[in-house]
Amino acid sequence: MQPVDYTTLLAACAELRQEWLPARLEQVYQRDRFTISLLLRTLKRKGWLDISWHPQAARMCIGDPPPRTPDTFTFSDQLRHQLNGLALVAIASVSPWERVLDLQFAKRPGDSPLWHLYVEVMSKYSNVVLTGKDNLIVTPAHQVSSQQSSVRPIQTGQPYELPPTLTDPIPRLNEPQDQWQRRVSLIPGSLKRQLLKSYRGLSSALVIKMVQAAGLDPECTTDSLTDGEWNCLFECWCEWLKALETSNFQPHFTETGYSVIAWNNTPVETSVKTVQELLNRYYTAELNQNEFKQLRHQIIQKLNNILGKLRQKADGFIERLKQSDEADNYRAQADLLMASLHEWQPGMKTITLSDFETGEPVKIPLDPEKNAVQNAQAYYKRHQKLKRARIAVEPLLAEVKAEIDYLEQVEAAIAQIEAYQSPEDLQTLAEIRDELTQQGYFNKTDYQNRSTTETEFYRYQTPSGFELLVGRNNRQNDLLTSKVAGDYDLWFHTQEIPGSHVLLRLNAGVVPDETDLQFVANLTAFYSRARQSEQVPVIYTKPKHVYKPKGAKPGMVIYKHETVIWGNPQQSPVIRE
């Protein structure tokens, strides 16, 4: 993830000062443990200013409105209590070439500041600190004790001190090229490393783009450059400093991240108009993707662990049932013994008797310490024990199998979203996690879904133009089947295979042709656990023939009056796209 560097921060602040000062602070909301949002209102607009001290994504930009869920963080409560209703009158730099900003709040524009909100955008050392006009810390986002840092502790009630001053030289536009070149090439090394070590205000992403704009390799050594290459690189260096001086920024995405400078004055095709939009879109997507990977891995690990135990439990029950299948044999042997007591002799370890029905010889093991009647009674007791075991085990096995079927259904839903594509993918996983929490598979304290947005079904159109809805998870499957489905629709599902519920929307009197049915069957097969197969049995029926048993887990239904059609997941429209 590309961190916000000095150039990007300067570009963001230039826009904020122009468009959002002065502004009235109307609300404070903390999105998570690393991000607060300030609702600002100017004469022309209102918007949420996101301030984040995330270790990899520290930033300040205008972002999206926060979710409509309660804010329970102490830090935002302190900010809300002190700053609500005041005016944001300035966004000042505390020192040249430092990534620390001073957001100043006063009663009205023109008054002296009453409060200072210091935003330190410094990667893993990022922080946000509220102080009064006396410069005493009222509340920090992250307290730093003297044990954690003897150089610069940050604690409530202590004076706020700026970060230690950087010792690297400051880049200057009026610096002669020969002096700049001597400084960079003083110690031979890779061009990227020497630029970063020689001046402050640079970042890896900026240096790489600058060097590449000069037509050079960032890893080439300084002692290998020709005079012409040094000239090209110095021109790019000056171009960067001029952009900072004139606030001439052109935000755009790149193959590896983003940039706010169009090198060599080359026009860039961009899908963003402002630095605010650029930062909001980039970091929202990157953080969502990271959260998606972590959450998906967490759910899969939990499912694999639970399913492994359940399958082992089911195998144990099945083995016990196999043993109980021998119950009738023990009874038959006991009957033979009781009918042939006269053939028993003391001390016998086995006895061979003729079967009542077939006449075949049956060899029966005996306990030599017991007589024939006692041996027969032992076989009768074993018969009764195994019969009781079957009666007890069968419902337990059915319960375990139902739980396995449910969790495999969840597995099939997760398999549909292998990689992050949109915020809906993350929300789908969050809903699955919430569902598993409600079912008792996760502790409630482990995770809390703070989003209230409703994810959309997957939507498709058949060749004849009929609408097709596919559930993303069990919550949507239940909603699709019980709430959305109409009397004339058709409900699809893979036969005895975990997968999504699929609904073909139809009007009264409309009968879909074979092409449409095959299209839906292919798609249903794709959104199932059998998506890698060549052919998959798919059933369809009217929604009125689909029932949810009392007490059934989410997404689990039974159906009747179904018709079977074979689906080919490799021919689904998702594969063809």
Pair 135, 216 in one domain: no
Alpha helices per DSSP H over 204-249: 204-213, 227-246
Q: Answer yes or no: is 244 within a domain.
A: yes
Pair 505, 387 in one domain: no
- pLDDT in the model for residue 450: 46
* Dihedral over alpha carbons 172, 177, 181, 183 (to 10 degrees): -40
Pair 26, 135 in one domain: yes
Q: How far apart are alpha carbons 360 and 350 in whole angstroms?
A: 16
Q: Which residues contact 152 (CB under 8 A, 6 or more apart)?
A: 144, 161, 163, 164
DSSP string across 253-301: E-SSSEES--GGG-----S-SSHHHHHHHHHHHHHHHHHHHHHHHHHHH
Pair 210, 105 in one domain: no
Q: Answer yes or no: is 44 within a domain.
A: yes
Pair 33, 122 in one domain: yes
Q: Answer yes or no: is 433 within a domain.
A: no
Domain hosting 60: range is: 6-140
- pLDDT in the model for residue 446: 46
Q: Answer yes or no: is 286 within a domain.
A: no
Which of 335, 370, 404 is the endpoint of a domain?
404
Looking at the structure of the chain, the number of domains it has is 4
CATH number for position 222:
1.10.8
- pLDDT in the model for residue 227: 92
Pair 183, 127 in one domain: no
Whether the Cβ atoms of residue 391 and residue 342 lie closer than 8 Å to each other: no
Measured CA to CA in angstroms, residue 483 lies from 227, 479, 527 at distances of 73, 5, 21
CATH number for position 126:
2.30.310.10
Whether the Cβ atoms of residue 456 and residue 469 lie closer than 8 Å to each other: no
- pLDDT in the model for residue 444: 72
Q: Which residues contact 4 (CB under 8 A, 6 or more apart)?
A: 12, 57, 58, 59, 99, 121, 279
Name which of 253, 255, 254 is nearest 278 in CA terms: 253
- Three-state SS sequence of 179-216: HHHHHHCCCCCEHHHHHHHHCCCCCHHHHHHHHHHCCC
Q: Answer yes or no: is 567 within a domain.
A: yes
- pLDDT in the model for residue 447: 46
Dihedral pair phi/psi, residue 251, rounded to 5°: -70, 135
- Parallel, antiparallel, or unpaired for β 46-52 and 35-41? antiparallel
Measured CA to CA in angstroms, residue 442 lies from 72, 188, 346, 563 at distances of 22, 56, 62, 38
> Is the peptide bond prior to 164 cis by the omega test (within 30 degrees of 0)?
no
Which of 140, 161, 185 is the endpoint of a domain?
140
Q: Answer yes or no: is 570 within a domain.
A: yes
Pair 96, 209 in one domain: no
Pair 126, 10 in one domain: yes
Pair 124, 51 in one domain: yes
Q: Answer yes or no: is 331 within a domain.
A: yes
Pair 17, 103 in one domain: yes
Q: Answer yes or no: is 76 within a domain.
A: yes
Which of 342, 374, 404 is the endpoint of a domain?
404
Pair 374, 469 in one domain: no
Count of beta carbons in the 10 Å neighbourhood of residue 263: 18
* Dihedral over alpha carbons 276, 280, 283, 284 (to 10 degrees): 180
Name which of 447, 467, 442, 444 is nearest 457 in CA terms: 467
- Residue pLDDT tens, the chain, 577 long: 999 999 999 999 999 999 999 999 999 999 999 999 999 999 999 999 999 999 999 999 999 999 888 888 999 999 999 999 999 999 999 988 999 999 999 999 999 999 999 999 998 999 999 999 999 999 999 998 888 887 888 999 999 998 888 788 899 999 999 999 999 998 889 999 999 999 999 999 999 999 999 999 999 999 899 999 999 999 999 999 999 999 999 999 988 899 999 887 666 777 889 999 999 999 999 999 999 999 999 999 999 999 999 999 999 988 888 877 777 787 888 888 888 888 888 888 888 888 887 888 888 889 898 898 988 898 888 888 878 877 888 889 988 998 999 999 899 889 888 889 888 889 889 889 988 998 888 887 544 544 445 678 889 999 999 999 999 899 899 999 989 999 999 999 999 899 999 999 999 888 899 999 999 999 999 999 998 898 999 999 999 999 988 888 888 999 999 999 999 998 887 764 4
Q: How far apart are alpha carbons 235 and 569 in whole angstroms?
A: 56
Pair 105, 45 in one domain: yes
Count of beta carbons in the 10 Å neighbourhood of residue 61: 26
